[in-house]
Copies of this chain bind each other. A is one copy, B any other.
Amino acid sequence: MRGSSVALWCAAAVACAGAAWAEDEGIRGFAPERVEAQRTIEEMLIGSVRRDRLRSFHEGLSSEPSPAGTEADLRKIRWLSKSFGEMGLEVEEHWIDVYLARPVTGEVEIVRDGTGEVSVGLSVQEGPIEGDPYLTDEGLDIGWSAYSGSGEVVAGVVYANYGRRQDFEALREMGVDVRGKIVIARFGGNYRGYKAKFAEEHGAAGLIMYTDPKDSGYVRGLMYPDGGWATPEYIERGSVKTLDYVGDPLTPGVAATVGAEVERLDPEELALPRIPVQPIGWGAAHEILSRMEGRVVPEAWQGGLPMNYRVDGGDALRVRLKVEQDRRIMRTANVVAILPGAKHPDEWVVVGSHHDAWTHGAGDPNAGTMIVLELARMFSERVRSGQPVQRSMLFACWGAEEYGIIGSTEWVEEHAEHLGAHAVAYLNLDMAAMGPNFRASASPSLRALILEASKLVASAVDPERTVYEVWSEQSGGTPGVRVLGGGSDHVPFLMHAGIPSMAMGGGGSSGVSYHSAYDNLHWYRKVVGDDYKPAEMIARVAAVALSRLANADVPALETGAYTEVVQEQLRSLSKMAEERGLSLDPEALSGALDELRSAHTGFFASEVNDEVVMTPALIGAERAWVEGPEPVERPWYRNRFIASDRDSGYASWVLPQLRGAIESEDQTMLDEELDELRTVLERMARVLREAAAE
């Protein structure tokens, strides 16, 4: 194929200096003679998404509440294996023994207020609603926060806004002592685990969390079932684990695969919450908050309940909080279906979403998981009808994500070596179809691929326009593919293994069912809709992107796209460093970045087009981010390009080691990490240069 390299590399929409190829004459990464066939495949894939199948997968997945480690979880795993098997796919059940929790008791009671001794018991579970058959399911747990400490406490209360680091600092500045108090904080602003962590660090005796109507409820719009927003009884379940790694709490960095000999940490020594933590609805929270008699809150802390919020409850108010949970090792599994690649079976393109759910999970995760199943069906049917995929495709349903990204992490740890050498990319689809407005996050090297794929699919907002066109209009210009945050199964792939990753999904529906008993098919069809058009749209964009990665002569990983992001982040970190009296030259990596840019261009302009060398080179360049020495802080997060942030958990830090050094005000570490980054960039450039020279 010598001589075709220009066509191979320069035919994409991403401008390529000197290339004479128009956008519609090629597809990035495909030799010219294969473009037409790929176009046909993409059209057939787009046409083959079936909304009735999505609907049926959605029903199968959301039939009962299935938290990890329960009997229902096992039934779900069997159903997944059977479903994938019926598509003719190889299925791997990857069984793991991991440290989970189950709720036993949750009690909240007001025992004294301004009127004297009282006994006002507060509900910790959503009640029935006429017309919603799922709410009376006996499998529904009470509202609970997994990994809460167990215990009972009677104490006064302090309102801590969102319970973020800055909220607790503000309380201290106001002279409010939370020691020995029950902190009440609203959901939002950070990952709930940090609310518990900060409350405990500040000496609180317990934590109550609730969803404020300003964040979801009547302030936002109609409440369920008239609309989709939080009722007075809406309770957000979820994990409160915050460790320096994700995955099984007892086996950081090592797979907790059943049958494997694994050394486990002592559960007693884990930094899991010791105080009782309990979520409630805003109706119950109103009972407590409206009895508070202390000083009023700063303006920004005012929520949407019909009262002035106060920071301290006053002497009269006493609340009893009792939580009991059973933390222990439980068994669950990832279910991974494999479609072997015809030409490069060792090279993996992975797409996944988790299968465990706090309740029925029609939104979280099954609004995404149904798409993983539909993609598996579509691709396997294409293969059976004679259109093989060139690389292996893996369709994964992860276990125990809700407890802290456990199943996917154990699987990544189990397959670390193979993934490191051969994984091309990971696509995460957790909760993907929650509305018609398309959005995406990705590693820089995958951004162009998503934009290209979005140009081929009709929007769920307006079938006359493409996803890209509507997305552009909603973005007020070129759509931004964002940086990936924390909080789902891409974390081990991206932040631990260094595999370029992406997530896509649709939003924009009026309501939230997140982690509540309302997260069922009745809510989903009322609020997101009954037509499955958002799911169809996401499935189509995902199918095009996956097909290009799986079939390209060389998968289009735009290594050069890192340079801009790194340079921009250096500038912003440099300002942050300066504010703290540290020094970080924003141009310190200019040489290395120029060299990477030039290596990237040289690589693409060279006549090297033997994909046996080129694909491994691109994969190798990506892995440079995880190949340095283990980071000093949070060594599990090996990727020097990106990590979950340290204080909120849902956001992420770009160049996390620099950011960490700045936050710790450590100039030495900052200098060392800057050198380390230079090494990474040089290694990336060298890998590309060497491949080009072969």
> Which residue numbers of A lie inside 8 Å of B, CB to CB?
213-214, 217-223, 226-227, 232, 286, 296-297, 299, 302, 304-309, 510
Report the 5 A-B pairs with minimum CB-CB distance, sorted nearest first: A226-B296, A221-B299, A226-B308, A221-B302, A222-B308
Query: What chain B residues lie within 8 Å of A306 (beta carbons)?
Result: 213, 217-218, 232, 286, 305-306
B299 touches A510 (CB 8 A): yes
Query: What chain B residues lie within 8 Å of A222 (beta carbons)?
Result: 296-297, 299, 302, 308-309
Give me 12 other A-B pairs in contact (C-beta within 8 A), A217-B306, A306-B306 excluded.
A213-B306, A214-B219, A219-B219, A220-B302, A221-B299, A222-B297, A222-B299, A222-B309, A223-B308, A227-B308, A304-B304, A305-B306
> In the bound complex, how far is the Cα of B306 from the Cα of A213, in angstroms?
8
Closest to A224 in B: B308
Number of copies: 2
Contact (A227, B304) CB under 8 Å given A214-B219, A219-B219: no
> In the bound complex, how far is the Cα of B217 from the Cα of A308, in angstroms?
9
A218 touches B299 (CB 8 A): no
B299 touches A219 (CB 8 A): no
> In the bound complex, how far is the Cα of B221 from the Cα of A296, in angstroms?
11
Q: How close is A120's CB to chain B, nearest CB, in angstroms?
A: 18
Q: How close is A308's CB to chain B, nearest CB, in angstroms?
A: 5
> In the bound complex, how far is the Cα of B306 from the Cα of A307, in angstroms?
11
> In the bound complex, how far is the Cα of B298 from the Cα of A221, in angstroms?
9
> In the bound complex, how far is the Cα of B309 from the Cα of A220, in angstroms?
12
Closest to A231 in B: B308
> In the bound complex, how far is the Cα of B299 from the Cα of A684, in angstroms?
52
Q: Which of B219, B232, B309, B510 contacts A304 (CB 8 A)?
A: B219
Closest to A298 in B: B222
> In the bound complex, how far is the Cα of B304 from the Cα of A86, in angstroms?
51
> In the bound complex, how far is the Cα of B297 from the Cα of A305, in angstroms?
20
Q: How close is A470's CB to chain B, nearest CB, in angstroms?
A: 20
B304 touches A218 (CB 8 A): yes
Query: What chain B residues lie within 8 Å of A304 (beta carbons)?
Result: 218-219, 304
> In the bound complex, how far is the Cα of B217 from the Cα of A309, in angstroms?
12
> In the bound complex, how far is the Cα of B302 from the Cα of A219, in angstroms?
8
Would you list 19 pairs from A and B whose C-beta atoms are within 8 A, ordered by A residue?
A217-B306, A218-B308, A219-B304, A220-B302, A221-B302, A222-B296, A222-B299, A223-B308, A226-B296, A226-B308, A227-B296, A227-B299, A227-B302, A232-B306, A286-B306, A299-B510, A304-B304, A305-B306, A306-B306
> In the bound complex, how far is the Cα of B309 from the Cα of A351, in angstroms?
43
Closest to A304 in B: B219
Which residue among A217, A218, A307 has the maximum number of chain B CB atoms within 10 Å of its CB?
A218
Q: How close is A118's CB to chain B, nearest CB, in angstroms?
A: 22
A305 touches B218 (CB 8 A): yes
Closest to A232 in B: B306
Query: What chain B residues lie within 8 Å of A214 (beta carbons)?
Result: 219
Query: What chain B residues lie within 8 Å of A305 (beta carbons)?
Result: 218, 306
> In the bound complex, how far is the Cα of B307 from the Cα of A227, in angstroms?
12
Q: How close is A220's CB to chain B, nearest CB, in angstroms?
A: 8
Q: How close is A159's CB to chain B, nearest CB, in angstroms?
A: 13
Query: What chain B residues lie within 8 Å of A226 (beta carbons)?
Result: 296, 308
Q: How close is A600's CB to chain B, nearest CB, in angstroms?
A: 36
Query: What chain B residues lie within 8 Å of A307 (beta carbons)?
Result: 218
Query: What chain B residues lie within 8 Å of A223 (beta carbons)?
Result: 308
Query: What chain B residues lie within 8 Å of A309 (beta carbons)?
Result: 222
Q: How close is A132's CB to chain B, nearest CB, in angstroms?
A: 15
Query: What chain B residues lie within 8 Å of A232 (beta carbons)?
Result: 306
> In the bound complex, how far is the Cα of B212 from the Cα of A306, in angstroms?
11
> In the bound complex, how far is the Cα of B296 from the Cα of A213, in angstroms?
18
Q: How close is A512's CB to chain B, nearest CB, in angstroms?
A: 14
Which residue among A296, A302, A306 has the maximum number of chain B CB atoms within 10 Å of its CB?
A306
Q: How close is A176's CB to chain B, nearest CB, in angstroms?
A: 16
Query: What chain B residues lie within 8 Å of A221 (beta carbons)?
Result: 299, 302
